[in-house]
Amino acid sequence: MRRVLVTGGAGFIGSALVRELLLDPETHVIDVDKLTYAASLESLAELDGEPRHLLERADICDAAAIAHILETHRPDAIVHLAAESHVDRSIDGPGDFVRTNVVGTFTLLAEALRYYRAGDDALRARFRFHHVSTDEVFGSLGDEGRFHETTAYDPRSPYSATKASSDHLVRAWHHTYGLPVVLTNCSNNYGPRQFPEKLIPLVIIKALLGESLPVYGKGTNVRDWLHVEDHARALAVVLARGTPGRSYNIGGDAERQNLDVVHAICDALDGLVAPLPQGPRRQLVTYVTDRPGHDHRYAMDATRIRDELGWTPRETFDTGLRKTVEWYLSHRGWWQRIRAGAYQGERLGLTGASRAP
């Protein structure tokens, strides 16, 4: 039996990983989540009654709580996904990002090291601390090239700066203290159950409702899109077979300009639901003031994880996007509850003036 502790397991990527890990009947998952606005217990509803899944509500900044969870459940590995993740929110409130992404990662590392050192030889031989990060730590690309694992860090937003800080802490705990770590840096995720502040679910919902579709700047910023279930498979592979001290880029090999993504969503909806009275949904596009410091392009070279660990994405952008649109259409209650409470689709991160941390 293998016990894996997943931080942020009620979130978008975290819940996908929990479901992926539990496909193995010999794996038990301890899900540690603070249950902030972006978490959803509905994302884990299919696991109700599953004895191999246990949810612990805790803040990763709470050292005593983390120490208690580690001692109680004795995990063989930690996969660290808990993070504040929306760039626009980091512009409005960077203090929350520093606390969770930097202080929280430090706290988790300190308690993980204490737990690892106190373990027996068998635990220390199998233990891994898997830190999940982002391509945004590498900065912005021009029209050519891709990010490699050796690309120098150049974060541009409060969000990416805090994730870069956490990456450096994880590497330091490996080199200084001998904690067996692996790191992954992924491209933009999309898929079912994503909180609708992010581009793809936001546009799906707004386009379905006939609302204006805000496109930042000219819509020419480029992202490499990765389906969340492909990402979850990659994380499971790295956890199982990744080399301690090594990092792995995870990308979907699906670069698209933001405007092209919006148009693809509009076209998919026009083919799946009744047309709007005003005509094709592409007409809903409205160009708005760009995000402060908006990175031009991200693209990932995922050669290492392909060649060393045998992972490749199963979904193309076209197949993954259609499945995603269909999920939001068939799960209207899920996002309608969010729209009625935590988030109504408003613009975030425009003022550039941060509130107090």
Which residues are registered as beta bridge partners of 80? 7, 131
Identity at 316, one-letter amino acid code:
T
Rg of the chain (C-alpha set): 20
**What are the residues whose beta carbons fall under 8 Å from the beta carbon of 253, sequence distance 6 or more?**
224, 302, 313
State how far the Cα of 111 lies from the Cα of 58, in Å rounded to an integer.
14
- DSSP per residue over 171-239, as a string? HHHHHHH---EEEEEE-EEE-TT--TTSHHHHHHHHHHHT--EEEETTS--EEEEEEHHHHHHHHHHHH
Other CB atoms within a 10 A radius of the CB of residue 210 amount to 12
Burial of 314 (0-12, 13-18, 19+ CB in 10 A): exposed
State how far the Cα of 182 lies from the Cα of 244, in Å rounded to an integer.
5
Identity at 212, one-letter amino acid code:
S
Rounded-to-5 percentages of helix, strand, coil across the chain: 45, 20, 35
3-state SS track over 59-118: CCCCHHHHHHHHHHHCCCEEEECCCCCCHHHHHHCHHHHHHHHHHHHHHHHHHHHHHHHH
Burial of 278 (0-12, 13-18, 19+ CB in 10 A): exposed
Structure tokens at 261: 């993504």
Residues with catalytic roles:
135-136, 159
